[in-house]
Amino acid sequence: MKKNFLLTLLLFCAASLTAQNWEPLFNGKNLKGWKKLNGTAEYKIVDDAIVGISKMGTDNTFLTTTKKYGDFILEFDFKVDDGLNSGVQLRSESTKDYQKGRVHGYQFEIDPSKRAWSGGIYDEARRGWLYPLTKNPAAQTAFKNNAWNKARIEAVGNSIRTWINGVPCANLWDDMTPEGFIALQVHAIGNAADEGKTVSWKDIRICTTDVERYQTPESQVAPEANAIINTISPREAKDGWALLWDGKTTNGWRGAKLSTFPEKGWKIDNGILKVIKSGGAESANGGDIVTTRKYKNFILTVDFKITEGANSGVKYFVNPDMNKGEGSAIGCEFQILDDDKHPDAKLGVNGNRKLGSLYDLIPAPAKKNFNKKEFNTATIIVKGNHVEHWLNGVKLIEYDRNNDMWNALVAYSKYKNWPNFGNPEEGNILLQDHGDEVWFKNVKIKELK
């Protein structure tokens, strides 16, 4: 009897403690503690829920908390009509000196479209997508159309993680805004047929006490994306990632045909490594740069941004001693190119000189998830003789080397006269100077056993 009483008392105390750590953000009766910003869409209360109603001729409309929050766990239920796009802002701001008070900051995406990116993280009116669900395709089935869905957001320090219906969606590491308001969005619409459609939220509650204690274990979160430029997050370090370029110096790199880093042709500018435009010739100005050591099995990621008509590349299995004459150092190349503007896109065979291709050997698909006005992420995976090219989280090509088929492919390419091309066990990694301005950042590598 005494044991049962003590157990009941402990459970009651634990439940009381948990309840004390949660507070409602919406009382179910009125909008006390909230205010509307930017647009003129309507918010009303229906059956204990806040309902946002879409409206033609208005900008995005936000219902924001009057209080700011830093570290917290936020839970809420939401439902949205098909055809609308919405979201929940967190750690967001509205200041006179930023686009005349436009709401900006992190947004938990609500997306009932076929794209299915609900639970992803968008940086509203600032940097755009930080965590599209291309980074975690398994989460694209978590959201249920035309039904109530349960959301959870954990914002603790630099970590922002999301869930829908218990499914891990996003996992972002970023430090741009440590504190801000929470807001419910009614997105602007361009189709009159969507006017009057609704998005609803209810059971909105927040925990701001002992937040770290209630964080979800690492084993139950989505793959991480690090948005802090040229850094390795604690999770990345634990997983074996390292910076291949530190974002500040030329340490670890040299000219492909030099013993030191080139004195011209390259520039480090506010965390960006830039190839200086010099007329479009291959390795004729500063020249290619290579790592000072060789790599064997690895995952390499490089964020790159092109200028109009630009040509460049990321090479691997490079032997800097193989070509001492004019032109680029020799190695397998992840092609970086403006397919629309650069003439090289029309050369080669079946598009094997276009963006993402294994240059002059294997073509990438014609349709790619690529934005030439923004940074894109090239990923190269090498596991023994198996190699893969990825762009923005989507696999483009894969191949195996050191076999008869590979050697036959090389024999019909521009590399046919280079002995044992693509077959070395290890090699340097190279960033190419092709005479066009191209930007690089977040150059990271994970060596595999």
The answer on 155 and 246 residing in a single domain is no
Tracing tokens 């077959």 back to the chain, one arrives at: 423
Beta-carbon contacts of residue 421 (< 8 Å; ≥ 6 apart): 330, 410, 415
Q: Residue 11: what pLDDT?
A: 41
136: which 2 tokens? 């975690």
3-state SS assignment for residue 370:
coil
Tell which residue, 73, 152, 70, 83, has the closest CA to residue 114. 83
The answer on 314 and 186 residing in a single domain is no
Q: Residue 284: what pLDDT?
A: 78
According to the 3-state scheme, what is the secondary structure of 220-270?
HCCCCEECCCCCCCHHHHHCCEEECCCCCCCCCEEECCCCCCCCCCEEEEC
The per-residue pLDDT of the chain, averaged, comes to 93
The parent domain of residue 375 ranges over 234-447
The answer on 345 and 278 residing in a single domain is yes
Q: Which of 203, 226, 249 is the last residue of a domain?
A: 226
Q: Residue 16: what pLDDT?
A: 41
The answer on 169 and 304 residing in a single domain is no
User: What are residue 153's phi and psi, to 5 degrees?
Assistant: -125, 125
pLDDT tens column, 101-149: 999 999 999 999 999 999 999 999 999 999 999 899 999 999 999 999 9
pLDDT tens column, 292-350: 999 999 999 999 999 999 999 999 999 998 877 787 899 999 999 999 999 999 999 99
User: What do you get for the CA distance between the two ends of the chain, in Å?
Assistant: 58
Q: Is the dihedral of CA 241, 245, 248, 251 positive or negative?
A: positive
Domain count, the chain: 2
Q: Residue 282: what pLDDT?
A: 77
Q: Which of 176, 195, 226 is the last residue of a domain?
A: 226
The answer on 308 and 261 residing in a single domain is yes
pLDDT tens column, 253-275: 999 999 999 999 999 999 999 99
Q: Which of 197, 226, 255 is the last residue of a domain?
A: 226
What pairs with residue 218 in β-bridges?
Answer: none
Does residue 16 lie in a domain region? no
How many Å apart are CA 133 and CA 376, to the nearest integer? Answer: 15
How many Å apart are CA 206 and CA 369, to the nearest integer? Answer: 36
Q: Residue 289: what pLDDT?
A: 97
Does residue 3 lie in a domain region? no
| Contact call for residues 2 and 9 (beta carbons, < 8 A) | no
Strands (E), 1-103: 22-24, 34-38, 42-46, 49-53, 61-65, 72-80, 86-93
For residue 378, the domain's CATH number is 2.60.120.560
pLDDT tens column, 344-394: 999 999 999 999 999 999 999 999 989 999 999 999 999 999 999 999 988
Could you tell me the pTM of the whole model? 0.87
| Contact call for residues 253 and 247 (beta carbons, < 8 A) | no
3-state SS assignment for residue 375:
coil
What pairs with residue 107 in β-bridges?
Answer: 89, 122
pLDDT tens column, 182-231: 999 999 999 999 999 999 999 999 999 999 999 999 999 999 999 999 99
Distance of alpha carbon 291 from its chain centroid, rounded? 25
The answer on 216 and 135 residing in a single domain is yes
Q: Residue 279: what pLDDT?
A: 81
The DSSP bridge pattern shows strands 311-319 and 298-306 to be unpaired
3-state SS assignment for residue 20:
helix
Does residue 1 lie in a domain region? no
pLDDT tens column, 45-103: 999 999 999 999 999 999 999 999 999 999 999 999 999 999 999 999 999 999 999 99
The answer on 127 and 43 residing in a single domain is yes
How many Å apart are CA 189 and CA 82, to the nearest integer? Answer: 13
| Contact call for residues 48 and 18 (beta carbons, < 8 A) | no
- DSSP secondary structure letter of residue 71: S
Burial 253-270 (b: 16+ CB within 10 A, else e): bbbbbeeebbeebbeeee
pLDDT tens column, 156-179: 999 999 999 999 999 999 999 999
Does residue 299 lie in a domain region? yes
The answer on 217 and 147 residing in a single domain is yes
